[in-house]
Chains A and B, each alone.
Chain A
């Protein structure tokens, strides 16, 4: 029997992503040229030895179900355990901006009831990290804590994350809108299954609350500990987060950590030939994915699969999602180009440094 099963809340929804999440959820946002945001949570779970994984899906579930399928990419297509695609509790605006809605967990009580595993590791799907959960699991079990939450120190103001007060390794309170250098949750925690079931009962009447909102008043009665994660970790809440954090993979140190060959981040397989460069290609400080064809210039940008940059076209400081075509002589700068867009020959599309232009 496995000691820990996983639960990923992939139903976080927000209006702050604008057009990017019109047809998809934050969890299924394309990221890093070849991935979806949820790949990190799923892969980290699997790479930490978790073989049973529940995925709470959002209202706009098409893109995420299409992506995870039966979990084959993560070896989760198992007879025993494997991937469980779970429904979210409420559809629409009520789950807007909530992190772990009690209802979502309650709705999936059967998933928890049936499991013989004593611990549950719960994480949000919008965390980009290469975290190994095993030390967290070990520490939680050793300490005998009721709940162990993962946190880190903000390196900028993080109005959408949940701040956390930590004293001597214990969580003593939460506060919204954490500022730079303050501690904030990474929306990842481990809890014993039994306690989680009890909490579901205790707070049944207020299950519209966020998990941490609900338990805040009882922090003095519970043993809630904090586990600091020092590795690279980002949480995506807004379109600006998406652009800035996506571009950070152009930093080789960040890329080396996130895409380390041990405990690799896996994603749904897509067949493409290697990227092809023709005469006249000029690519600098960029990530380019298989299946792309480069004849023009690309600078400080991320190109997803099957992107065609034609002769004389220029792409700068942009994210170009799969199967886009930048025709001859076109210029694209400070832009997020969503899937399968064609920028016509000679066209110029520019955002500003502050306001990235999103073409959906």
Chain B
């Protein structure tokens, strides 16, 4: 017998994140390293842990091995409980055959049995793609106070970004009266953050109906939300004020990473009151050599800096050899920059090597950010 859980989370972690190019060639976007020692999914999982949600289904599909291994029993986020905990939910087969997740809604639909196991009153649907800190309990309070069927977390965005996002219009009470996915001419700059709290019955009914619609793309933004709105259901917004970023493109990944280095960053990795949890690697402290120098940087444990690091992130387990310089760049974990090499305005994939005296990247801001994938060798 499984105990009832009033509030559970479903975390969508199946996306490839193709706009991250070389960084997601071998791994799914939520598994991409960020901030020196984290992976993107850590932020959503830590939010769950910090919001005291102890039952999380993680839906994986694209190249899930690293992600599955990484999440493991969930112990890194204290989610390894006997009662609930983390479940990794890849597509599976039934007596009528199996199929890939056709869309975000379909992924949840195919796991309704998992949800029903816990008999929850509310289900929060999350994406494993975003960098933010949020206490989901506050959002649940909004949902309950409004007696809502669906509550969508929203934030105001610059108008020029609106056409790329799901845009909502809500009245003063927060009741949503209009929703458009990626509108050419947005009527509002209130954007969906892709975080939904459903009352469970509404979720189940709408997913079952959607699964029977052959014309549906089985997507929350494109199908489920407009349908519920059309049916006159109670849809409300939960306004979020704080840092939230989709680091889904190379420029935003780079820019968001560089902002972490500010003395007063928009998103403070070092905040201790809402800690970001991650898998611990048992690495020693990092070492800076007699001729090394480090300024305006994050340096992860296990790294050895014998050269110069300026305005960069050196993730866990990297080596910057003597005479090498790393500037305005991100070295993902376990990168080696050999003697005399130069890395400028670049993102270097996990385990990659920049060979001695090589130059990777360009200081010219007209050039795109240089990117090389995991385990690559730059000559």
Contact = CB atoms under 8 A, between A and B. Distances in A.
Interface string B275-309: 11110101111111111111111111110100001
A32 B286 contact: no
B35 A255 contact: no
Nearest to A283: B288
A290 B287 contact: no
Interface in B57-77: 75
Given A273-B270, A274-B36, A274-B269, A255 B284 contact: yes
Given A252-B287, A271-B277, A277 B282 contact: no
A280 interface: yes
Contacts of B275: 271
A324 B214 CA distance: 63
Contact of A33 (B285, B295, B304): B285
B284 A276 contact: no
A276 B301 contact: no
- Residue of B278, B287, B299 with highest tally of chain A CB at under 10 A: B287
Nearest to B271: A273
Interface in A245-260: 249-250, 252, 255, 258-259
A337 interface: no
Most chain B CB atoms below 10 A, which of A265, A283, A303: A283
Given A274-B36, A274-B298, A284-B288, 12 more contacts: A33-B284, A34-B284, A273-B35, A275-B285, A275-B299, A277-B294, A278-B296, A279-B295, A283-B294, A284-B293, A286-B287, A288-B287
Given A273-B269, A283-B292, A290-B37, A259 B298 contact: no
B199 interface: no
Contacts of B263: 278-279
B127 interface: no
Interface of B: 35-37, 75, 261, 263, 269-270, 275-278, 280, 282-302, 304, 309, 313-316
A173 B110 CA distance: 73
Given A274-B35, A274-B300, A278-B263, A32 B295 contact: no
A154 interface: no
Main secondary structure of the interface of B (DSSP, over half): loop
B71 to A, nearest CB: 16
B367 to A, nearest CB: 25
A265 B288 contact: no
B266 to A, nearest CB: 15
Closest 10 CB pairs of A and B: A33-B285, A274-B36, A289-B285, A273-B269, A259-B284, A269-B280, A274-B300, A274-B298, A287-B285, A285-B290
A273 B277 CA distance: 9
Given A271-B275, A273-B35, A280-B295, A287 B270 contact: no
A289 B287 contact: no
Contacts of A281: 294-296
B289 A290 contact: no
A282 interface: yes
A273 B288 contact: no
A34 B285 CA distance: 6
Contact of B286 (A265, A273, A288): A288
Nearest to B314: A274
A259 B287 CA distance: 12
8 contacts: A34-B285, A72-B75, A252-B289, A266-B282, A273-B37, A273-B276, A283-B288, A284-B292
Contact of A34 (B289, B301, B315): B301
A267 interface: yes
B270 A293 contact: yes
Given A252-B304, A279-B296, A274 B316 contact: yes
Interface string A281-321: 11111111111011000000011100000000000000000
